[in-house]
């Protein structure tokens, strides 16, 4: 019966459309619309700087901007009166005016101000550079304060200079190294692929289990029960049909996403376990719908409502952040657990690290299976 159902569903083009074509199309659309905004790339930026070439401390501040590894920064020298015009015209994304006597003022402990001017269309790049300016100025100020404190303590000039240089160059014992995103995080493209796969899985598995409702309504179920076939065998066959369709469709969507969008989800074995668990959870939910719905139309409506609610709440379109009780309820969503599990595997996690998402999905499956045994069979009563 399972093989016959699968052959029938494969011939039915609506399965391929809902399980493969539509989610892939949405992946392309959403990736084009939102992929670049969620994972922005830093653009090259030009800085128009004015500083006294004879002031070594001012030169340190200007040179620090050109040494930001994460950005392609071009520093162009200009006169102070030209800075605003350059930023206003867009020729420079950021303007920096270091006043004359900046270094001497710092050394004497006098008040001095560095002027930073953001250009039209300033974005994340200029925010990074402004943060660098603040950091360098704070470090230089700390060195000056340390030097004055050392002088007040009566230390010799040689030691005062060494202390000031050490403080100004101290980074607090920290170093900046390139790393990887922490576990449970996916890139925007990977999250879209995983989210759409989880959402449309809830539609795909309905082609098997919810067929019970249609056959019951059409009278096919009565004819099947008149044959020497147990009712449990029929239900199991429908469940296996849903399970196989769900596993194949989800695996195809993840594989297609990896090819078309250049994303990866890590260990194939761990990903396979996540797919099996989320398909089991979705299939169990369909059994509850099959018990509650009186007609095929009601079953389709309930399926659509639950699929959209679980999909949206699980992050199929965009991440959902919540705390407290709401956050705990969202964590029990099998779609959210599936995406979270893929985030773990994408970050290098294996079978031992995906225990929590797997437990959530299997727990959801057990609860839905229990409900399907408890709730009245409204369709049979009708």
Q: Which of 12-26, 256-270, 356-370 has the lowest mean pLDDT?
A: 12-26
User: Strand 45-50 and strand 73-77: pairing?
Assistant: parallel
Residue 140 is inside which H or E element, if any? helix 124-152
| pLDDT at residue number 358 | 94
Closest CA to 273 of 174, 352, 155: 352
pLDDT at 38 over 60: no
The yes or no reply on domain 45-169 and CATH 3.40.1710 is: yes
Residue 376 is inside which H or E element, if any? none
Average pLDDT over the chain, rounded to whole?
A: 78
Interval 354-369 mean pLDDT: 94
Distance CA 129, CA 63 (A): 12
Q: Which of 64-68, 79-83, 358-362 has the highest mean pLDDT?
A: 358-362
pLDDT at 338 over 90: yes
Domain with CATH 3.40.1710 in the chain: 45-169
Tens digits of residue pLDDT in 13-32: 778 887 888 888 888 887 77
Tens digits of residue pLDDT in 149-192: 555 556 565 554 454 455 444 444 444 444 444 445 787 788 88
- Size of the chain, expressed as the number of residues it contains: 382
- Bridge partners of 95, per DSSP, are 48, 117
Distance CA 307, CA 288 (A): 13
| pLDDT at residue number 34 | 66
| pLDDT at residue number 57 | 78
Interval 345-363 mean pLDDT: 91
CA-based torsion, 334, 339, 344, 346: positive or negative: positive
| pLDDT at residue number 335 | 92
pLDDT at 138 over 70: yes
Which of residues 277 and 231 earns the better pLDDT score? Answer: 277
Q: Is 193 helix (H, G, I), strand (E, B) or coil?
A: helix
Q: Which of 4-8, 60-64, 221-225, 352-356 has the lowest mean pLDDT?
A: 221-225
| pLDDT at residue number 365 | 94
């Amino acid at each position: 019966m399972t093989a016959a159902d699968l052959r029938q569903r494969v011939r039915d083009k609506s399965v391929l459309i809902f399980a493969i074509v539509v989610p892939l199309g949405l992946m392309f659309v959403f990736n084009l619309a939102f992929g670049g905004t969620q994972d922005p790339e830093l653009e090259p930026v030009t800085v128009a700087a004015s500083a006294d070439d004879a002031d070594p401390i001012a030169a340190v501040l200007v040179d620090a901007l050109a040494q930001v590894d994460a950005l392609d920064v071009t520093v162009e020298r200009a006169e102070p009166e030209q800075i605003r015009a350059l930023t206003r015209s867009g020729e420079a994304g950021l303007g920096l005016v270091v006043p004359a006597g900046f270094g001497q003022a710092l050394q004497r402990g006098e008040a001095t101000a560095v002027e930073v001017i953001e250009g039209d269309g300033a974005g994340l790049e200029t925010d990074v550079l402004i943060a660098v300016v603040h950091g360098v100025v704070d470090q230089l100020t700390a060195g000056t304060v340390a030097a004055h404190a050392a002088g007040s303590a009566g230390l010799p000039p040689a030691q005062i200079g060494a202390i000031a240089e050490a403080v100004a160059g101290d980074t607090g014992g920290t170093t900046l190294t390139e790393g990887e995103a922490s576990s449970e995080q996916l890139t925007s493209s990977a999250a879209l692929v995983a989210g759409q796969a989880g959402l449309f899985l809830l539609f795909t598995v309905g082609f098997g289990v919810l067929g019970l409702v249609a056959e019951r309504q059409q009278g096919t179920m009565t004819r099947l029960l008149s044959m020497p076939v147990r009712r449990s065998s029929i239900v199991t066959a429908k469940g296996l049909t849903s399970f196989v369709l769900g596993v194949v469709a989800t695996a195809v969507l993840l594989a297609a996403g990896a090819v078309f969008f250049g994303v990866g989800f890590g260990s194939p074995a761990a990903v396979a376990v996540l797919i099996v668990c989320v398909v089991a959870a979705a299939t169990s939910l369909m059994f509850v719908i099959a018990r509650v719905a009186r007609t095929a139309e009601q079953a389709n409506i309930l399926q659509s409502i639950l699929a959209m609610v679980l999909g949206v709440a699980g992050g199929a379109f965009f991440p959902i952040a919540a705390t407290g009780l709401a956050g705990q309820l969202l964590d029990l969503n099998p779609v959210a657990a599936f995406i979270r599990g893929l985030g773990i595997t994408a970050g290098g996690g294996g079978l031992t690290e995906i225990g929590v998402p797997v437990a959530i999905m299997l727990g959801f499956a057990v609860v839905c299976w229990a409900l399907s045994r408890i709730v009245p069979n409204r369709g049979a009563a009708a």
